[in-house]
Amino acid sequence: MSTETTHDDHHGPARGLSRWVFTTNHKDIGTLYLLFSLLMFIVGGAMAMVIRAELFQPGLQFVEPQFFNSMTTMHALIMIFGAVMPGFVGLANWLVPMMIGAPDMALPRMNNWSFWILPFAFTMLLSTLFMDGGAPAGGWTMYPPLVMQTGNAFPFLIFSVHLMGISSIMGAINIVVTIVNMRAPGMTLMKMPLFVWTWLITAYLLIAVMPVLAGSVTMLLTDRYFGTSFFDAAGGGDPVMFQHIFWFFGHPEVYIMILPAFGIVSQIIPTFARKRLFGYSSMVYATSSIAFLSFIVWAHHMFTVGMPLTGELFFMYATMMIAVPTGVKVFNWVSTMWKGSMTFETPMLFAVGFVVMFTIGGFSGLMLAITPVDFQYHDTYFVVAHFHYVLVTGAVFSLMAAAYYWMPKWTGNMYDEKLGKLHFWLSTIFVNVLFFPQHFLGLAGMPRRIPDYSTQFTEFNQISSIGGFAFGLTQLLFVYIVYKTIKGGEKATDRVWEGAEGLEWTLSSPPPYHSFTTAPEVK
């Protein structure tokens, strides 16, 4: 076998725009993903601000109901598919090869494509805001028959979901293949950092469920334009069938957004507790159990659709079971901190905040799982509060933690610790002002997805909106901190953190363009 041209001859990156468009380098692609994610977080957040502004008072003030529904729908689609998922994929791109001692991702060209579909998909999705009939307004869950009333935006919605799916599947395949095939000698599966483990399982979930989403929206498309009757009772179909197929994707999807977060937190807590992760192998088993269970709980989103009693019971029991492996994770994190030697730099603060607030979100999830009471909670702000706790103080906080934790490695510069801590505290305070009152709103009977509400809900909505604006503004601070760190700052050491373990810390900060040109030996 010839060896002379087994790789790129010039070792540095290309210059200018073409570096980013044509790159096959995992770090460049990781950076693209992360910046894209930040951009989408701002766009989706701006839509959330419209929602919170309209809900500041009863009555219609700023936007018409149809547009409000578009904001809700687009906010969710952008946050989920544009901010959180690409954020995690960006981290995987940066970190997985470095953590397992590989030169790059296994399929570098496809890696480029996975990313470069996204800007097109989201441009398409955002362009629907300017179409006849407005942007999609049927909720991110796209339930028929309502979604069929979407105007010209309808096919654009469907096709952008298809494109996002293609991107996610290719990204996930790349990650699985990298993990199974590119590990350095001695890096056995049970030696892999937990972040790698959680991503392996996440990628598996992605490959399993994104095609199902594609199938379900394809049926929407043919029902609307090609005369099929999958979701039409007159033809023997059923609108609820869509919900089953959608949630078969949708529930694993929410774990897709939390498993990598578990991985991040499992990297950070041991570092700052200066103590090995407690119960490594049970963490791996718990993650796998969560993934398995995630396939058999989907109908807990549909307790009110009129399922037979046995179905309701099955899905209630299965859903409750998820608390067990998730609890194992929480207990292991706490035990890792126990008798550690802890310091609280910004990444650790975000990780601790994650553990507390994710658990609160988990508890409300458990309450939702109890079918007889979900009849009361369903489609109220209690649900909104639940999923923002697991998504914002869960997934997004873990992304923040990861950014602070690895930014010195990525850029070679330390971030501003004072500002980082300020960012954490402001975020934590305001995010609770934002979402905690929504529990009360939901219990008191405020439905979700409404632009106007009866006057008894005014006070808590005002508190929530104020929290929302403040939380949003606080994120500008984050943008500034990132900018400042990229521009310069105190030089980071290779190890960066005193207690950091793992191959990525053996590389220089910033790491060389090709991570491990010779595979490291893992004891």
Partner 1 sequence: MLVTRLKRLLTASGGAALLLGAPGALAEYGLNLPRGVTPISQEAYDMHMLIFWVCVGIAVLVFGVMFYSIVSHRKSKGAVAAQFHESTTVEILWTIVPFLILVGMAVPATKALVSMEDTSNSDLSIKVTGYQWKWGYEYIDDDISFISSLATPHDQIYNENPKGEHYLLEVDNPLVVPVNKKVRLLVTASDVIHSWWVPQLGMKKDAIPGFINSMWIRVEKEGVYRGQCAELCGKDHGFMPIVVVAKNEADYAQWVAEQKSAASADAAAAEREWSMDELMARGEKVYATSCAACHQANGEGIPGAFPALKGSAIATGPVDKHIDVILNGRSGTAMAAFGAQLSDIDIAAVATYERNAWGNDTGDLVQPSAVKAAR
Partner 2 sequence: MSEAHGGYYVPHGTSWPIVGSIGLTTLVVGFANYLNGSQTGLTITLAGFAIVLLMMFGWFGTVIRESEAGYYNEQVDKSFRWGMSWFIFSEVMFFAAFFGALYYARMLSVPWLGGGDVETNQLLWNGWEATWPTNGPGEIGGPFETVGAWGIPAINTLLLLSSGVTVTLAHWALKKNRRGALVMWLLATVALGFTFLGLQMYEYSHAYHELNLTLGTGVYGSTFYMLTGFHGLHVTIGAIMLTIIMLRCIKGHFTPDHHFAFEAVAWYWHFVDVVWLGLFIFVYML
Which positions from 162 through 221 interact with ligand HEA, judged by CB under 6 A?
none
**Bond into 325 cis (ω within 30):** no
- How far, rounded to the nearest angstrom, does the alpha carbon of residue 55 sit from its chain's CA centroid? 25
As measured in angstroms, the least distance from the Cβ of 103 to ligand HEA is: 33
Q: Which option in ligand HEA, partner 1, partner 2, none does residue 469 bind, with CB closer than 5 to 8 A by kind?
A: ligand HEA
Q: Closer to partner 1 at the Cβ: 296 or 486?
A: 296
State both tokens at 396.
């997004």
**Bond into 510 cis (ω within 30):** yes
Does position 334 interact with partner 1 (CB under 8 A)? The reply is: yes
- Do 404 and 438 meet the contact criterion of CB atoms below 8 Å apart? no
Q: Which of 82, 97, 263, 468 binds ligand HEA (CB under 6 A)?
A: 468
As measured in angstroms, the least distance from the Cβ of 63 to partner 2 is: 25
HSE, side-chain direction, 13 A CA sphere, residue 445: 4
User: Dihedral sign, CA of 127, 56, 365, 194?
Assistant: positive
Is residue 127 annotated as part of the catalytic site, yes or no? no
Q: Which of 162, 224, 300, 439 is catalytic?
A: 300
CA–CA separation, 386 and 363 (whole Å): 8
Give, in order, the Cα–Cα distances in Å from 392 to each of 11, 76, 254, 389. 39, 12, 12, 6
Q: Closer to ligand HEA at the Cβ: 172 or 384?
A: 384
Does position 123 interact with partner 1 (CB under 8 A)? The reply is: no
Nearest to 12 by CA among 32, 34, 27, 31: 27
From start to end of 67-126, where are the E strands? none
- In the shown chain, the binding pattern of residues 133 to 172 toward partner 2, with x for contact by CB under 8 A and - for none, equals -------------------x-xxx--x--xx--x--x--x
At residue 160, the 3 state secondary structure works out as helix
Is residue 26 annotated as part of the catalytic site, yes or no? no
Does position 439 interact with ligand HEA (CB under 6 A)? The reply is: no
Using the rule CB under 8 A, give the single segment among 30-38, 81-89, 395-403, 511-519 that binds partner 2: 511-519
Q: Which of 469, 486, 499, 507 binds ligand HEA (CB under 6 A)?
A: 469
Q: Which option in ligand HEA, partner 1, Cu ion, none does residue 434 bind, with CB closer than 5 to 8 A by kind?
A: ligand HEA
Q: Closer to partner 2 at the Cβ: 116 or 140?
A: 116
Does position 82 interact with ligand HEA (CB under 6 A)? The reply is: no
The number of beta carbons lying within 10 Å of the beta carbon of residue 6 is 7
Is residue 140 annotated as part of the catalytic site, yes or no? yes
- In the shown chain, the binding pattern of residues 203 to 242 toward Cu ion, with x for contact by CB under 5 A and - for none, equals ----------------------------------------
Does position 128 interact with partner 1 (CB under 8 A)? The reply is: no
Nearest to 387 by CA among 254, 225, 190: 254
CA–CA separation, 24 and 306 (whole Å): 50
The number of beta carbons lying within 10 Å of the beta carbon of residue 515 is 23
Nearest to 477 by CA among 392, 398, 402, 404: 404
Give, in order, the Cα–Cα distances in Å from 50 to each of 99, 108, 219, 414. 41, 39, 32, 35
Q: Which of 232, 416, 494, 501 binds partner 1 (CB under 8 A)?
A: 232
Residues that bind ligand HEA (CB under 6 A): 41-42, 45-46, 48-49, 51-52, 72-73, 75-76, 79-80, 84, 139-141, 254, 257-258, 300-301, 319, 322-323, 326-327, 330, 359, 362-363, 365-366, 368-369, 374, 377-378, 383-384, 386-388, 390-392, 394-396, 434, 448-449, 468-469, 471-473, 475-476
Known catalytic residues? 75, 104, 140, 167-168, 251, 253, 255, 266, 300-301, 326, 329, 448
